[in-house]
């Protein structure tokens, strides 16, 4: 294992030993290549640079107490990348090849997988870009798919905790029929200003309403939303939010715990009725929401009066991380063992 201060890693990029790459040329994917270079050579007219033909994914490898290394639902990341590819006209990477490359890059960088006790994990970042030189707007002929990994610190340094969020109306991250349902960099470019405003005001993250009517809850900057009330897990249905694999998993776990699950529009005013709320995604699993402020209407929707995570958020969080770390039985077959 490399000598790193595992307990104090941030969510940043750190060079590791290898990345894996695969090129799409003449209508087909080539062989998987190992690479120890952290740079890529690209034509300055590549479509990814000018016309946003770029898609990414994010997942993690967990060093577990039983000594194995597990990855959580990589088949779901492969499927979502395929959906993104259909959305912005890029060739789909087959699931088997995607998982083969995930396994390879994790094994090749085993010495960078943080120890279990540190709470840190190995973040896995697949990236697919159009590489043909073009100035006209049409899809690239050639593509590069690569996966790199980097060790990242635990999301909650001082333990599982709540955070404040703020509704931003001045900017939308995605249009109702736009690319919000795809994991593309352009959505993040569109979110940077709102994100900066939220941070400058002291909030953890910005919250988006639906772009068309500004009436319904969409999602946070890079995480889905859910609210809890009357033993029910409620999460927004929208054409402009990214389908989170964490959210999909939490919906199943909520059912397993005997809760009802509703995926439907959530009007902003309904926020006042939730007993608990959370933001969910791979990075934090669940980031329990302390409150959501609407500065325009001077309304504050409070989900935690004492600043502590609620019982349902805590139970769902524990259950999901216990499955990810191989501590609790994985009845849904979600984990994929990469190193025995
Ligand atoms: C990646 C992402 C999420 C979270 O998805 P997970 O699969 O749970 O990690 C949520 N919203 C946006 C905008 C994202 O890009």
Question: Over the stretch 94-146, which tens digit does the pLDDT of each residue have?
Answer: 999 999 999 999 999 999 999 999 999 999 999 999 999 999 999 999 999 99
Query: Tokens 């690479």 map to which residue?
Result: 35
Residue 177 Cα, ligand 1 centroid: separation in angstroms? Answer: 18
Task: Average the pLDDT over 22-47 and give the result.
Answer: 97
Strands 335-339 and 69-72: antiparallel
Our answer on whether the CB atom of 58 is closer than 6 Å to any ligand 1 atom is yes
- 275/205 Cα distance (integer angstroms): 20
Q: Please say if the pLDDT value at position 178 is more than 90.
A: yes
pLDDT of residue 208: 97
Q: Quote the pLDDT of residue 255.
A: 98
Has residue 156 got a pLDDT over 80?
A: no
pLDDT cut 90: percent of the chain above it: 93
Q: Is 183 one of the catalytic residues?
A: yes
Whether residue 202 has pLDDT greater than 80: yes
246 C-beta closer than 6 A to ligand 1: yes
Give the residue, 10 or 244, on which the prediction is more confident. Answer: 244
pLDDT of residue 143: 98
Residue listed under structure tokens 């990814």: 48
Tell whether the model's pLDDT for residue 159 goes beyond 80.
Answer: no
**What whole-number distance in Å separates Cα of residue 231 and Cα of residue 254?**
9
Mean pLDDT, range 160-175, rounded to an integer: 94
**In angstroms, what is the span from residue 269 Cα to ligand 1's centroid?**
24
Q: What does R_g of the chain's alpha carbons equal in angstroms? A: 20
Between 158 and 135, the more confident residue is 135
The DSSP output letter for 239 is: S
Whether 70 contacts 336, CB under 8 Å: yes
179 lines ligand 1 (CB under 6 A): no
CA 93 to ligand 1 center in whole angstroms: 19
Close Cβ partners of 214 (under 8 Å, ≥ 6 residues apart): 169
For residue 77, which atom of ligand 1 is closest to its CA? 7
Decide: 256 and 315 in contact? Cβ < 8 Å: no
Q: Which of 143, 130, 133, 146 is closest to 48 using CA atoms?
A: 130
Lowest-confidence region among 85-94, 244-253, 302-311, 326-335 = 302-311
Look at residue 205 and tell me whether its pLDDT is greater than 90.
yes
Higher pLDDT, 251 or 10: 251
User: Is the beta carbon of 244 within 6 A of some atom in ligand 1?
Assistant: yes
Separation of CA 272 and ligand 1 centre (Å): 25
Contact indicator for 253, 279 with CB cutoff of 8 Å: no
pLDDT at 157: 74
User: Residue 84 has what pLDDT?
Assistant: 98
Residue nearest to atom 13 of ligand 1 (CA): 222
pLDDT band at 305 (very low <50, low <70, confident <90, very high): confident
Mean pLDDT score across all residues of the chain:
96
Q: What is the mean pLDDT of residues 58-86?
A: 98
Quote the DSSP letter at residue 4: -
The answer, yes or no, to whether residue 196 has pLDDT greater than 90, is: yes
Q: How large a percentage of the chain has pLDDT more than 70?
A: 100
pLDDT in the model for residue 154: 81
Query: Of all atoms in ligand 1, which is nearest to the CA of residue 223?
Result: 10
Average pLDDT over residues 252-281: 97
């Amino acid at each position: 294992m490399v000598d790193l201060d595992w307990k104090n890693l941030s969510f940043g990029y750190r060079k590791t030993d290898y990345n894996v790459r695969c090129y799409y040329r003449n209508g087909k994917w080539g062989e998987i290549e190992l690479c120890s270079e952290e740079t890529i050579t690209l034509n300055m007219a590549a479509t990814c640079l000018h016309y946003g033909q770029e898609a990414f994914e994010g997942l993690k490898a967990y060093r577990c107490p039983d000594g194995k290394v597990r990855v959580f639902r990589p088949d779901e990341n492969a499927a979502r990348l395929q959906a993104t590819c259909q959305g912005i006209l890029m060739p789909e990477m087959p699931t088997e090849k995607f998982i083969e490359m995930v396994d390879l890059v994790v094994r090749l960088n085993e010495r960078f997988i943080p120890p279990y006790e540190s709470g840190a994990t190995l973040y896995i970042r697949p990236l697919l870009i159009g590489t043909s030189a073009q100035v006209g707007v049409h899809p690239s002929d050639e593509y590069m798919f690569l996966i790199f990994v980097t060790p990242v610190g635990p999301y909650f340094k001082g333990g599982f905790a709540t955070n404040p969020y703020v509704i931003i109306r001045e900017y939308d991250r995605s249009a109702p029929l736009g690319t919000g349902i795809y994991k593309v960099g352009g959505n993040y470019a569109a979110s940077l200003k709102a994100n900066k405003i939220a941070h400058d005001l002291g909030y953890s993250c910005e919250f988006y309403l639906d772009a068309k009517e500004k009436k319904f809850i969409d999602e946070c900057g890079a995480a889905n939303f859910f609210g809890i009330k009357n033993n029910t897990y409620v999460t927004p249905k929208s054409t402009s939010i990214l389908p989170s694999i964490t959210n999909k998993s939490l919906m199943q776990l909520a059912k397993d715990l005997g809760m009802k699950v509703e995926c439907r529009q959530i009007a902003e005013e309904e926020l006042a009725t939730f007993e608990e709320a959370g933001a969910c995604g791979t990075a934090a699993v669940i980031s329990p929401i302390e409150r959501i402020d609407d500065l325009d209407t001077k309304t504050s929707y409070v989900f935690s009066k004492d600043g502590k995570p609620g019982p349902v958020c805590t139970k769902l969080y524990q259950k999901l991380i216990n499955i990810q770390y191989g501590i609790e039985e994985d009845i849904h077959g979600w984990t994929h063992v990469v190193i025995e």
